[in-house]
Structure 1
Amino acid sequence: MAQPDPTPRPIDHVLRGRPDAVAVEDRAGALTYAQAEDAVARLAGWLAGFGLPPDTRVASWLPKTREACLLPLAAPRAGLVHVPINPVLKRAQVAHILADSGAALLVSQPSRIATLEPGDVATSVIVPEAIGQGDPLPPSDADPNALAAILYTSGSTGRPKGVMLSHANLWLGAVSVAHYLRLSPDDRVLGVLPLSFDYGQNQLLSTWYAGARVIPLDYLTARDVVKAVARHQVTTLAGVPPLWVQLLEAEWGDAGVTLRRLTNSGGALTPRLVRGLRERFPHADLYPMYGLTEAFRSTYLEPALVDAHPDSIGRAIPFAEIMIVRPDGTEAAPEEPGELVHAGPLVARGYWQDAERTAARFRPAPSWSRYGGTAVWSGDTAVADAQGLLRFVGRDDEMIKSSGNRISPTEVEEAVVAGGEAAEAMAIGVADARLGQAIVVVVRGDSAREDDLRARLRRDLPSFMQPTRYEWLAELPRNANGKLDRAALARSVREGKPL
């Protein structure tokens, strides 16, 4: 397979299909590439009409409307930086992202804006009542290294942090994925993942780079996905492990016969899931992948290798250099665990207005790196075999991975104690067959207030952040420094030992 073109371009140039081919198909019908280009131009003109300075952040908090699909192109075309907000987030998370990003404009819907409270949106932020059109803007001539988007992702401590992505990051990510998935103009890609998720947004961009059709879908049940696959004759379906569990439990009939490829990220596939997907969709290529927002995507496994290596995350994708590094900075030997380090042009520009965390994660590449420059030190442990195939070992941080979402324990803990029902809390991820990990919270407080706590969190946190179980204690264990002994408590909960 020939290597893809490594030349980056402004991301709003990505609509590369034939003018009369369908770029987007949704409930409103089909939008051709010519119509999509015109819609991006007019949406960019509308944004430019607000007179915001270059590089101003524009946030969007929308379901998968056409405008939500086109804003990742329209905002950069207008010289602005797009900040997509997951539509399932609640007011506290939305308020944090708006304040942290310094967004000057929020594109949303009246029904969503009505859920916010005074102070959630600064008075200086423009909140239009409706999305409009302006004089069309031509394709941009932006520097590919210029900032195009900020995607918010949870860290192991604190609130979500913004990952800064350039035009080049987004463009080369689209080129890379379209290339190794072998997307073609006749493909129909079902977009079920949030557009605020790098994996979900890339589905748009890689599909359009390939000149194919994307079908955005907000779904409630696995059955909705099955129906959409059948109705739109979908060829490509991307998911995260918990979704695959649900889809394997659904009745498919002949609905999956058009599927050519299945792609997975947001958590490792288990051998059991691999077997289930291969049996259910024997004619579809399965692509296990590994990635992190700070470097978009790192590895993929060729479908021909999946049956023999069901626990592998494969090799580096185009434009990525993946290294397994010992604690002393030297290269790990085959079968020796080490930290997964990603170098190359897919590496993001760091965390928005957070020099300390940027310096911790974005550090100089090892001296033996082919690309050199800044690398992402993932904090994840992996091992490479003698053939160079990688296997994910585990996360060194304390992130909880549930329903394909990376969840900060600290953010859950802050929400639990915010209402006064509990004095202290510790959130722990425990293995769960459906969710990947379920959230268990160990709480110091009065268990009689659990119903009140659950009711409040249903209002304050999105569904994927809801704890599944609470363990109430009179005191939480502490270490010699007086800090909560997170490691010991997590070990007890995961092993089912008395607390």
Structure 2
Amino acid sequence: MSRSQATSCHSLVVRLPGAVEAGELARRLRTAAGRARAELAGLPLWEERVDLPAGHPRAAARARREAERPLRAAGPPLRAVLLRYADDAADLVLVARHELAVDGAALTFAESEPEASATPVAPATPVALEWGLGEPAAAGAVAELPLPDGLPGDATLLVGAAALVLARYGTGAPVDEAQDVSAYLAGRPAYEGGVLDLGGIGVLVEEARAGQWRVAQLAPALPGLLHLTVGADGTAAGVLRHRPSELAPVVASRFADHVAHVARQLAADPGRALETVELLTPAEAEHVLALGVTPPAGSAASAVRTIDGLFADVVRERPDAVALTAGETSLRYAELDALAERTAAGLRALGVAPGSMVGVALERDADLVISLLGVLKAGCAYVPMDLRYPEDRLRYTVGNAGAGVVIGTGGGLPADLDGVRVVTPAELRALGDAAPAAPRAEDGAAPAYVIYTSGSTGRPKGVVIPHRNVAALVEATRGDLRLGPDDVWTLFHSSAFDFSVWEIWGCLLTGGRLVVVDHWTTRDPELFHAQLVRERVTVLSQTPSAFAQLVETDRPSPADALAVRLVVFGGEPLDVRMLAPWFARHSPTACRLVNMFGITETTVHVTAHTVTPADVLATGRKVGPALPGWSLSVRDPRGRLLPVGVPGEIWVGGAGVADRYLGQPELTARRFVEDPYGGGRIYRSGDRGRLRPDGALDHLGRLDSQVKVRGHRIELDEIRNVLLGHPDVTGAATVLNHETPGDAATARIDAYVALRGTAAPADVLAHARGVLPGYMVPASVTAVPAIPLTINGKVDTAALPAPGAAAAPAGAGAATDGADPDGADPLTDQVLKLWSHALGAEVGLQDNFFELGGNSLLVIRVLREMRDQGLPKVTTQDFYRNSTAGRFVELVRDARG
């Protein structure tokens, strides 16, 4: 039978003690049923002999099977079956459609009144319990489990308990937990019968009747139905009937226990503050906490080790092995060590004391890795900066970090860094030639680096990470990922992005070879793919957005062209569906794909999940259990532990927790807290997730205005505050949009501003470009009379207009500017159409690709479409240098000529 048939039926089982005369019973049934429905005047009574006593478990199971068997779609609205047992007792099983009410005591039937019906109104849209962890393979099945006996027999209290549990779960109506129990129950509407939908779970409370039991819905109309019966002794019992495809049995069991646990607490102390009512018992809390903890791998020695100390161990073991390849440069471990020692000596010669912050602003090359290692050998912490960031951001980073020395070439750095010495790597090493060696004791608690992440105040915040965290990360992953000296890694990411920490030290501390990928190669999937093949790279770290481009590039090449055995995803959520073409060409046993959730404040990675083709079919959000030495849990806004399945804020503890935010003690105190459950120092991530029964985590996005765009963590409020910094902006809002829903390549940030005076959106955009790095600059700035607000005072994003083309410079949209007005130049038309299609806007020859919302992924898309259309190949570097449509057309024309 279909689920819809089962949903439309309920059943009643009436115990008939002693001998039963079937003919008389059938006559009574036909008479009573015929009064309700004329068509039932000839109702048959089916009879079956069960050769077991009524009290036997198999006899009870037989009665349940009959009670749960739905009616046929074309059949009558009532079925009556008499089960006779060996001890002369009998059960009358009545199954009826919901429009027919059944009174078991008097064996009467009547048309159900809508307000008294036990059938909830089906929701307009399917209910999906985010906390249910349903099992799709169980579609069509129905399960039932009992609640503990002896519950309080007050209907209002029972419904209130269920409502409070569902509010804590996040699907029920919010509850003011500042009130006490009695005020909460008094404020709830009186329960008047029928099924209440409290947020995906129905609740039905009825009086118990001796010798009867019923199934209120053979298949719940909602994912679950909590059916409670109040007995004459003032206590209640109940069952939770649920659909396992939407509410997994283990989660359903916990939910039932939570309702019982909360109901008992409400009944025990009416004066108790609602916020102190516990959802979990102490035993369950201990179990859930243990689920999120993975014991450390190896010994505890990593807690006192430094990155440079561990590197020295590798140098002693493999002095002549190649450590680093960067273009034409190749350095052995001993050579890299010696150059870094000279760098450290040069810092000492400049008077840089251990514990100082040293800026590093270099392109991705050998000097970058040498300098980072040299800073650590000097006992200092490196502060990496991306030279493509605006001067204002670089200036702020240097000043906020208190860096007196910046290792750089001068190019790209602000010229007015007062009191800061900029020294090239070569100059630093030359200074170190004459400086004496200065060995130092290892201190794992000393800061190793400070990476700046987006901050809601309009300025980035520096995260201070000690050496021991990186040592613990390498130790936690070495065994499971089989990291070792046979591996070849890439340094693909900016040193200002903490993914680079994993790439550099994950490789060099396990004896591998690090291949440095220059900036322009990272922007060109074809060049990058060729480098992977040429260097026989085995370990690859990628954001999903970047890997999606690599998957496309890999398709035409032989399946065995790549030597990659491990791909680590990080930086942004992974949509596993994008991996289908990869798995079609590459066996998961030959190349392991690992999705790792992580945060800068918890040292790059927190969890690991090996992605399989089955995950692609399930399209889940799983990121795996905690790494060895890390812990995670899911909490509500008050810091209370949430049960398995229930979404909340991810809290991370253990070996990866950062030291602090640099110079921000108040923010540090808010985000790095002592765990009220005794887990030590723990970080409140602001990320949303849920824990699974096996301890794996599902990552569900952000709780605040932070978003991920192509691997970059961005606080939308930081962009908003920068916009408000323009003197003519009176209000601002920022939103994340996608030109194509679900397509990461089309992710864009659109801004809205309320202006005064003569300022134009283009002026605001120019202001933003002077402060924000390129990946944070809005794709559009649209002027509105005022920023619309909801009744709660928040930005009403639904009321904002479609993004305008305010980001474009004057003359934007003049599609024939500079071209033959009759369209006599096919190349111009072809290129402009390609750009317009990629950007979702009309493009003119004066328009700049990036000012219209273009990004690195859309560049790749345009170049690929050009190739498919037979146009000449253009490098990504040339695209960036000729990003105005008119110049780009001429570039293509010259290449074709």
Per the normalisation by structure 2, the TM-score is: 0.51
Q: What's the Cα RMSD here? A: 2.7
Point out the more displaced range, 40-49 or 330-339. Answer: 330-339
Distance 1:280 1:156 in 2: 43
Aligned pairs for 1:220-231 within 5 A: 220-231=523-534
Letter in 1 for 2:362: L
Distance 1:177 1:493 in 2: 46
Point out the more displaced range, 29-38 or 81-90. Answer: 81-90
Distance 2:727 2:324 in 1: 47
Distance 1:205 1:349 in 2: 19
Instruction: Quote the residue 1:400 is aligned against.
Output: 707
Instruction: Quote the residue 1:63 is aligned against.
Output: 363
Q: For the Cα contact (< 8 Å) 1:152–1:163, is it kept in 2?
A: yes
Q: CA deviation at 1:268?
A: 1.2
- CA pair 377-276 structure 1, distance change in 2 beyond 3 A: farther
* CA shift digits 1:48-101 (9 cap, x unpaired): 110123312110111112221133322122122211112331111101111111
Instruction: Quote the residue 1:389 is aligned against.
Output: 696
Letter in 1 for 2:671: R
Q: Does 2:784 correspond to 1:473?
A: yes
Kindly, what percent of the aligned residue pairs are identical? 26
Distance 1:459 1:221 in 2: 26
* CA shift digits 1:193-235 (9 cap, x unpaired): 1122222122111111211111111222222221211121111
Q: CA deviation at 1:137?
A: 3.8
Q: For the Cα contact (< 8 Å) 1:401–1:436, is it kept in 2?
A: no
Q: CA deviation at 1:157?
A: 3.6
Q: Return the match for 2:629 from 310, 314, 319.
A: 319
Q: Return the match for 1:301 from 586, 609, 615.
A: 609
Aligned pairs for 1:50-199 within 5 A: 50-113=350-413, 116-118=414-416, 121=417, 123-129=418-424, 131=426, 132-133=428-429, 134=432, 135=435, 137=437, 140-199=440-499
Query: Which structure 1 segments of 5+ residues have no match?
Result: none
Q: For the Cα contact (< 8 Å) 2:296–2:630, is it kept in 1?
A: no
- CA pair 492-212 structure 1, distance change in 2 beyond 3 A: farther
Distance 1:311 1:139 in 2: 47
Aligned pairs for 1:442-457 within 5 A: 442-445=752-755, 449-455=760-766, 457=768
Q: CA deviation at 1:4?
A: 3.0
Instruction: Quote the residue 1:257 is aligned against.
Output: 562
Instruction: Quote the residue 2:733 is aligned against.
Output: 426
Larger radius of gyration: 2
Instruction: Quote the residue 1:284 is aligned against.
Output: 591
Instruction: Quote the residue 2:309 is aligned against.
Output: 13
Distance 2:719 2:745 in 1: 17
Instruction: Quote the residue 1:248 is aligned against.
Output: 551
Point out the more displaced range, 16-25 or 355-364. Answer: 16-25
Q: For the Cα contact (< 8 Å) 1:13–1:139, is it kept in 2?
A: no
- CA pair 129-216 structure 1, distance change in 2 beyond 3 A: closer
Q: CA deviation at 1:456?
A: 5.2
Distance 1:172 1:182 in 2: 15
Q: For the Cα contact (< 8 Å) 1:81–1:150, is it kept in 2?
A: yes
* CA shift digits 1:458-496 (9 cap, x unpaired): 454332112123332111124679x6x33x22x555999
- CA pair 138-211 structure 1, distance change in 2 beyond 3 A: farther
Question: Aligned to 1:93, what secondary structure does the other structure show?
Answer: helix
Distance 1:258 1:417 in 2: 49
Q: For the Cα contact (< 8 Å) 1:341–1:376, is it kept in 2?
A: yes
Distance 2:511 2:342 in 1: 21
- CA pair 354-460 structure 1, distance change in 2 beyond 3 A: closer
Query: Which structure 2 segments of 5+ residues have no match?
Result: 1-294, 804-897
Letter in 1 for 2:472: L
Question: Aligned to 1:36, what secondary structure does the other structure show?
Answer: helix
Q: Return the match for 1:28 from 317, 320, 328.
A: 328
Q: CA deviation at 1:149?
A: 1.6
Aligned residues: 484
Q: For the Cα contact (< 8 Å) 1:246–1:434, is it kept in 2?
A: no
* CA shift digits 1:135-191 (9 cap, x unpaired): 474664132112222111112343111111111112212222333322121111111
Instruction: Quote the residue 2:297 is aligned against.
Output: 3
Distance 2:436 2:514 in 1: 23
Point out the more displaced range, 252-261 or 83-92. Answer: 252-261
- CA pair 220-394 structure 1, distance change in 2 beyond 3 A: closer
Distance 2:774 2:352 in 1: 35
Point out the more displaced range, 409-418 or 221-230. Answer: 409-418
Which protein, 1 or 2, shows the higher relative CO under an 8 Å CA cutoff with sep ≥ 6? 1
Q: For the Cα contact (< 8 Å) 2:458–2:720, is it kept in 1?
A: no
Instruction: Quote the residue 2:338 is aligned against.
Output: 38
Q: Does 2:648 correspond to 1:345?
A: no
Letter in 1 for 2:523: L
Distance 1:463 1:139 in 2: 41
Distance 2:452 2:296 in 1: 34
Point out the more displaced range, 157-166 or 352-361. Answer: 157-166
Q: CA deviation at 1:433?
A: 1.3
Q: For the Cα contact (< 8 Å) 2:308–2:373, is it kept in 1?
A: yes
Distance 2:464 2:597 in 1: 20
Q: For the Cα contact (< 8 Å) 1:12–1:139, is it kept in 2?
A: no
Instruction: Quote the residue 2:774 is aligned against.
Output: 463
Q: For the Cα contact (< 8 Å) 1:180–1:318, is it kept in 2?
A: no
Question: Aligned to 1:335, what secondary structure does the other structure show?
Answer: coil
Question: Aligned to 1:155, what secondary structure does the other structure show?
Answer: coil
Q: For the Cα contact (< 8 Å) 1:263–1:286, is it kept in 2?
A: yes
Distance 1:74 1:427 in 2: 41
Point out the more displaced range, 454-463 or 398-407. Answer: 454-463
Q: For the Cα contact (< 8 Å) 2:391–2:770, is it kept in 1?
A: no
Q: CA deviation at 1:295?
A: 0.7
Q: For the Cα contact (< 8 Å) 2:491–2:516, is it kept in 1?
A: yes
Distance 1:174 1:239 in 2: 18
Q: Does 2:504 correspond to 1:210?
A: no
Instruction: Quote the residue 1:47 is aligned against.
Output: 347
Instruction: Quote the residue 1:409 is aligned against.
Output: 716
Letter in 1 for 2:785: A
Point out the more displaced range, 22-31 or 425-434. Answer: 425-434
Q: For the Cα contact (< 8 Å) 2:623–2:698, is it kept in 1?
A: yes
Q: Return the match for 1:233 from 505, 525, 536.
A: 536
Distance 1:360 1:276 in 2: 44
Q: CA deviation at 1:438?
A: 1.6
Point out the more displaced range, 243-252 or 291-300. Answer: 243-252
- CA pair 23-466 structure 1, distance change in 2 beyond 3 A: same
Q: CA deviation at 1:311?
A: 2.4
Q: For the Cα contact (< 8 Å) 2:483–2:510, is it kept in 1?
A: yes
- CA pair 27-242 structure 1, distance change in 2 beyond 3 A: same
Question: Aligned to 1:173, what secondary structure does the other structure show?
Answer: helix
Letter in 2 for 1:210: T
Distance 2:415 2:636 in 1: 49
Distance 1:146 1:2 in 2: 21
